Amino acid sequence: MLAAALAIDLKLASAHLKALAAARIVASRRDGKYRWYRLSGPDVAQLWVRLRDVAETHLAELRVALHAMAGASETLVATAREALLAQARSGAIVVIDVRPRDEYDTAHLPFARSLPLAELEARLAELPADKDIVVYCRGPFCVFADTAVRLLTARGYRARKLRDGVNEWQAAGLPLARVAAA
């Protein structure tokens, strides 16, 4: 699945995963003919976020590219993470995760609904028209949220993008939710 999602050769994906496992960056488990990988701990998510932050600070071309990818800053959520969590908990806002369902099932922001980008247009009726909608995906480099915000605003919804993804949330020490295995 990972090789297909990245559009790379299966052997290349396997070699990268083996190297990451040897470095204990990822852990794996076997399930029949499949091998499932996950980050080996929350510190790995923190490492990734910190490394990206350092790169943004020191590489002007990365800042320019990120700004171009992030789109208009007025669509970014300016609320602190804890306040956003409280608003989602109270139902004042709706948080949607536009990543594929299997990623949502693995880990997602508390109170987030799974509305994969591929299904979003067909499922618009599930969203309240009278509440702000906060959209997130895989972090600041993921364009799924940008696409979702454009679609939602074009349909009359009040939508904003959360720059964070699961790794940023976890690196900040905030809770994550998971779908219980059947």
Distance CA 166, CA 162 (A): 11
Helix (H) or strand (E) holding 98: none
Catalytic residue from among 137, 142, 148, 159: 137
- As a whole number of angstroms, the distance between CA 172 and CA 152 comes to 28
Annotated active-site residue 137? The verdict is yes
Question: Is there a contact between 95 and 109 (Cβ–Cβ < 8 Å)?
Answer: yes
DSSP string, 132-164: EEEEE-SSTT--HHHHHHHHHHHTT--EEE-S-
Catalytic site residues? 137
